[in-house]
Structure 1
Amino acid sequence: MKVRRQAIVRSLALSAAALALGAPGLAFAQAKIKVAAAYTVPYEQAWVSRLHKALKAAEARGEIEYKSTENVTNADYERVLREYANGGAQLIVGEAFAVETASRKVAKDFPKTAFLMGSSGKPQQPNFSVFDNYIQEPAYLTGMIAAGMSKTHKIGMVGGFPIPEVNRLMNAFMAGAREIDPKTTFSVTFINSWFDPPKAKEATLAMIDQGADVLYAERFGVSDAAKERGKLAIGNVIDNQPQYPDTIMATALWAMEPSIDHAIAQVKAGKLEAEDYAPYSLMKNKGSSLAPLGTFEKKIPAELVAKVKAREAEILSGKFAVKVDNNTPKSSPK
């Protein structure tokens, strides 16, 4: 009996050690949490694609069970959030820009569920954290490239809605352009939609007709117009240069992985304190970056590339801070 008891004790000790060390199939299985996401646009929409990609990566690693719904209407958003919360989701991710009241109401009703929502508002204790694509730093760098490559000194910019998350990127882009060429002028249009490529293309064509030879593609559809007319474009959030190798020169990339990984870690640790996740999108935290120049590596003058790289290094080191300007950008006076 004594020998048997010793064997049992050793077995329990080994099991505990395996859990502590993260042995496959033990701690890993226990660590998996339920995550759900509700998106108001298709998965391929640039902004949402970053969230979906980061969550799918966590799912592939076996850290989470992931469910999601795309193209949720504003009127139906609250119902979808409640269904996920009632279904046992421990973390719910989405974008609340047009459904702030509904999203925050659901979070209040489910205080033990963590919410991480794209929002222009502040965190709401105890469980409603907010984030956005805080990528004004690489946006500034793309502005430098845009102005350096423009021959007409006219840049067209097409955005979705004039909200802080969009405004600060456009303003940073414009500031970067002015650093290289103070004479640069801008045409700014908002299509009042998050996903309407035909409308964005139409607005872009009008800017090209007015002399713009570089276009800032905050929305899908802009690069199509630029390609059609043989003009240059700057991408945003995702790198679409492979689809537009002769059009898109540079892109301010957004990586949602740092934010998602932090949220998952917080839920695993049983922490629900609401936070502002904006810092996780900074370049120093690997939440954003300037995409490789790719097909334009030899087309952009070496002197301009050197200026961009020098400024990038200063941003990463903290020597240069890109101003956060949430005001609605305006077209240059005619």
Structure 2
Amino acid sequence: MNTFKMNRRTLIGTGAAALTLAGLARGASAQSPIKVAGIYTVPVEQQWVSRLHLAAEAAKEQGMIEYTFAENTANTDYPRVMREYAEAGTQLIMGEIFGVEQEAREVAPDYPETAFLLGSSLPPDAGIANLSVFDNYIQDASFLSGIIAGAMTKSGKIGMVGGFPIPEVNRLMNAFMAGVRETRPDATFQISFIGSWFDPPKAKETAFAMIEAGADVMYAERFGVSDAAKEKGVLAIGNVIDTQKDYPDTVVASALWNFSPTLAAALEKVTAGTFAAEDYGIYSTMPKGGCSLAPLGTFEGKVPGEAMTLVAEREAAIKDGSFKVEVNDAEPKAS
């Protein structure tokens, strides 16, 4: 297995992750650390997986868990790695099984003493009691970032580059587009999927084509898009992580995912012996602290005031439950 130490990683948001887990850490201080393993099909620098890894590292630093991980795990190897970790006495295995759904669900029943918390497009199966699913339901924050994008575009043309048209990508794109229409009802969208979770050069080239076609704001669902926006002098909206410091003249806003509420809920149930087949998607929502809009950084004061007032109003309404962002998992359509 391919394990690495955190000191060669540069990830964002450790403070938020630590705060989310602090209460659980205090309550579990008398417990032995839970043995946790992560199985990832991409490098831990990749946006989506970085959030899982960051939350686990925060829990490890607080003494709540022992943590090891395997990255760049091929789908064909995923079941084998699951078995190796389970047979080594791992209590909680987390990761993503979007490309290996059936195989992973065949492994889990063989290890009833191991809890599996896995990113999935499918619902939990009551017949596999030790496998829970989650996804990044951060459509609330994506919607708010869309409001800002609609206010910042001059051409009214938005480019959007995604990995694969699966529910966890589609719902964020659809929410973003709905937010754009709040401030720019006549906006048009170019949409493309690159068929990879981690191919920055391909994402960059796809973004270049959209910018050449008139897009002046890019939705960067994948790494590489913000690089293209920077080179061409247009704006970008980030997804899952905050890259504003890396692109201070390019990234206006980002929808952030905080995995710590999801992990904390799972650890609590593992500790209590109540882990069961459940959908943990709710813990990614804004009312649960699972997502937020990143600080504007260098764009503070540069976004029209009317748009920021609307963002504040919608955010408050999302948190108190009076406004619901639609969860639309259908593949988004270009204009």
- TM-score, normalised by the number of residues in structure 2: 0.90
Check conservation: 1:112, 1:272, Cα contact below 8 A: no
1:6-25 counterparts in 2 under 5 A?
none
Match of 1:6 in 2: none
* Residue equivalent to 2:93: 92
**Alignment correspondent of 1:64:** 65
Instruction: Answer yes or no: is the 8 Å Cα contact 1:255–1:281 preserved in 2.
Output: yes
Matched, 1:224 2:227: yes
Aligned length: 308
Q: Distance in 2 between matches of 1:298 and 1:151?
A: 17
Q: Supply the AA of the counterpart residue of 2:53.
A: H
Name 2:254's counterpart in structure 1.
251
Q: Deviations over 1:170-198 (max 9, x none)?
A: 00000111111110000000001000000
Which residue does 1:169 correspond to in 2?
Answer: 172
The CA deviation at 1:302 is 1.4
Instruction: State the Cα RMSD in Å.
Output: 1.3
C-alpha separation in 1, matches of 2:30 and 2:200: 42
- In the other structure, the counterpart of 2:84 is 83
Aligned to 1:102: 103
Alignment of 1:138 with 2:141, yes or no, is yes
Cα distance between partner residues in 2 of 1:58 and 1:298: 36
Measured in 2, the distance between the counterparts of 1:30 and 1:186 equals 51
Question: Which residue in 1 is equivalent to 2:207?
Answer: 204
2:37 maps to: 36
Distance 1:156 1:272 in 2: 41
Residues 23-63 of structure 1, C-alpha deviation per residue, up to 9 Å, x if partnerless?
Answer: x9xx7464311111100000100000000000011111111
The structure 2 residue matched to 1:194, chosen from 194, 197, 207, is 197
Q: 1:319 & 1:265 partners in 2: Cα distance? A: 29
Question: What is the SS of the residue equivalent to 1:75?
Answer: coil
Contact 2:266 2:275 in 1 (8 A): no
Unpaired runs of 5+ in structure 2?
Answer: 1-23
Map Cα deviations across residues 263-311 of structure 1 (whole Å, 9 max, x no partner).
Answer: 1111111112111001001111100001111110121111211111111
Q: CA deviation at 1:165?
A: 0.2
Percent sequence identity is: 61
In the other structure, the counterpart of 1:158 is 161
Residue aligning to 2:3: none
> Does structure 1 residue 111 correspond to structure 2 residue 103?
no
In 2, Cα distance between the equivalents of 1:187 and 1:130?
A: 31
- 1:279 and 1:29 mapped to 2: Cα distance? 28
Residue of structure 2 in register with 1:12 after alignment: none
Contact 1:31 1:268 in 2 (8 A): no
What is aligned with 2:9? none
The within-5 A match list for 1:168-317 is 168-317=171-320
Aligned partner of 1:171: which letter?
N
Equivalent pair of 1:283/1:289 in contact (CA under 8 Å): yes
Q: After TM superposition, which residue ranges in structure 1, 4 or more long, deviate above 4 angstroms?
A: none
Larger Rg: 1
| SS of equivalent to 2:77 | helix
State the SS of the aligned residue for 2:215: coil
Q: Secondary structure at the match of 1:148?
A: helix
Report the counterpart of residue 129 of structure 1 in structure 2: 132
Q: Would you say the 8 A contact 2:93–2:115 is kept in 1?
A: yes
Long gaps (5+) in structure 1:
1-21
Q: Residues 100, 300 of structure 1: CA spacing in aligned structure 2 closer, same or farther, 3 A cutoff?
A: same
Alpha-carbon offset, residue 158 of structure 1: 0.2
User: Cα offset for 1:317?
Assistant: 1.2
Conservation of the 8 A alpha-carbon contact between 1:164 and 1:326: yes
CA distance in 1, matches of 2:137, 2:260: 13
CA contact 2:41–2:72 (8 Å) conserved in 1 = yes
Distance 1:230 1:174 in 2: 22
Please give the secondary structure, in 2, of the residue aligned with 1:67: strand
Aligned CA distance change for structure 1 residues 112 and 301 (closer, same or farther; 3 Å): same
In the TM superposition, what whole-angstrom CA distance separates every residue of 1:80-106 from its partner, at most 9, and x where no partner exists?
A: 110000000010000000011111111
Report Cα offsets for 1:100-146 as digits up to 9, x if no partner: 11111111111121000000011123111000110000100111110
Deviations 1:138-164 (A, max 9, x none): 100111110110000000000000000
Q: Which amino acid aligns with 1:66?
A: Y
